[in-house]
Structures are given as C-alpha cells and as structure tokens.
Amino acid sequence: MSENLGLHRETNRANWDDRAAAHAAEGGLGYGIDRFVADRRLLSDVVEFDRERLGDITGLRTVHLQCHIGTDTLSLARLGARVTGLDFSSVAIEKARVLVERTGDDVDFVESDVYAAADVLGTGTFDLVYTGIGALCWLPSIDRWAATVSALLRPGGRLFIREGHPVLWSMNETIDDDLHLRFPYFEQQEPLEWDSDTTYVATDRPIVATKTYEWNHGMGEIVTALLDHGLRITGLVEHRTVPWEALPGQMVAVEGGEFRLDALDGVAPLTYTLQAEKE
C-alpha cells in the first residue's frame, strides 16, 4: 500500500466536499435535485436503469455505500427499501439530509469512510448493499472493500453494484479518431493523480479543490475479492453505455441519461452490473 494513503484520502475528500456543494445546487444544474422535490415518484436515472435487475426490494434493510448527495439513495427508498446512505464527505451528507427533508423520503445518512462502514453500522445487519456509478475508483484496495461488503451483509444478503468498467477507466479521454488503452487496468499500489476544475455534470462554478487520486481494479480482481470474502456471484452484465459523457467528443447521448460510443459503439464495455450473495 502507498505510504500516502492519508494524504490521498483527505485530498479526495476535499474534492468531493467541493463537488457535493456544486452538484446539489438548485435551479437545474448539477444533479437537478429540484426534480426529486417536485415529483415524489421520480427515480434517478442510475437506479431506473437497473430497476428490473434490482427486483422487489420492499422492506429490505439496505445500505448505500458512497452515496454522495443521496439521489440514488432516496430512489431506493422510493422502491420500498429501508435505506441508510453512507459517505465520507460531510458536505455530501449535509446536502443529502437537506434533500430528503425537502422530499419527505425516509432515509438515514451517516458520515463515514467506506472501510469503516461495518464498525459504524454493525456487522451482519443488511439485506442489501448497494453501490452506484463512480465509487470503486476512489478506493485503494478492492479486497478491503469486499471484506467490508461481506461484513455488512447478513447470510443470504445481496450485493448490487453498477459501476464504470475497468476497461473504461483504462482509456484516455483525449479527443481523437480512435480509442487507446493508456492507464493501468489492474490495481496499482500508487494511484493516478488528476488535476481538473470540472466535474461530470454541469455546475454553476468551477471546482476549487481540483486534485484527486484514483485506483483502477480489474474485473477479475473485483470478482476474486468477493469470492474470497464469502460471496457467490449471481449476476454479471456488461453494458455498452455509461450515465455521463465519459469520453468527450467520442460519445452520443441515448435515452435514460446514458451515453454510448459514437463511431466505435460496442468495441468495449463501458459499465457493468454485478450481483453477489453472501453464503
């Protein structure tokens, strides 16, 4: 493990504090949170995408890891789950709590590092662990994440995750006539360092805390980590779309808030949905 994990975590936290404030802005920018207040049946595009695969989650004790400002979290509650959202950003948790106060959705939010989730929320208490898009790349160890998921779940409980594909994270984002694998596919000890004042949705101001650190995790590493910690893979679907313009200039928008590759549609998976059950 890198000797600078504390620095990496705190730098990423500052970035996500900044993003959370920008993403929760009212008036249509960011995540468009006013829509969830106006329409109490609205689901986020991410949750709606996997609604059929999620199945009936009515009454399931659910934890949403790395929940950000809570739009996916409240969407799970609107499908009938009893949901707790967890995130390491104090600003994200504050914005999520304000959002559900406005919408009336019954959701609890807890501020915590994801690796400490079982210590904070208890072990073996959840029927469903849910993780959404853009979460795993902020974690240095996929094995520690899998151990946390296993600890949170009761026997027979389920993990549900839709995430950016590790092939996507390996691609460069330069506008070009072709796609190139440029960045590590497998988990590395040292993260990739980025510096950008933009984020993946429209905002009314640039990001001030611009530096971030990210790690990729190969699909085999993810599956193996879950197997090693007592989970059985019950579903794995790879998708040719992603819910943001991940490769600017090379993608076209499709329905449901998704984007696909334009000229090279179908040459690589962009996201995946994985399900696993604790034995």
Q: Do the Cβ atoms of 192 and 170 come closer than 8 Å? A: no
Single-letter residue type at 228: D
3-class SS letters over the chain? CCCCHHHHHHHHHHHHHHHHHHHCCCCCCCCCCHHHHHCCCCCCHHHHHCHHHHCCCCCCEEEEECCCCCHHHHHHHHCCCEEEEEECCHHHHHHHHHHHHHHCCCEEEEECCHHHHHHHHCCCCEEEEEECCCCHHHCCCHHHHHHHHHHHEEEEEEEEEEEECHHHHHECCCCCCCCCECCCCCCCCCCEEEECCCCCCCCCCCCCCCEEEECCCCHHHHHHHHHHCCEEEEEEEEECEECCCCCCCCEEEEHHHEEEECCCCCCCCCEEEEEEEEC
Q: What is the CATH number of the domain that holds 166?
A: 3.40.50.150
Q: How confident is the model at residue 2 (pLDDT cuts 50, 70, 90)?
A: low
Say if residue 206's pLDDT is above 70: yes
**pLDDT tens digits for range 101-159:** 999 999 999 999 999 999 999 999 999 999 999 999 999 999 999 999 999 999 999 99
Q: What is the mean pLDDT of the segment spanning 2-26?
A: 93
Question: What's the mean pLDDT when you consider all of the chain?
Answer: 95
**pLDDT tens digits for range 151-184:** 999 999 999 999 999 999 999 877 666 788 999 9
Residue 205 is part of which domain span? 1-278
Angle at 210 between CA 205 and CA 215, to 5 degrees: 130
Say if residue 95's pLDDT is above 90: yes
> Can you give the pTM of this predicted structure?
0.96
What is residue 27's predicted lDDT score, i.e. its pLDDT?
Answer: 74
Q: Do the Cβ atoms of 113 and 138 come closer than 8 Å? A: no
Q: What is the mean pLDDT of the segment spanning 186-212?
A: 95
Structural domain count, the chain: 1
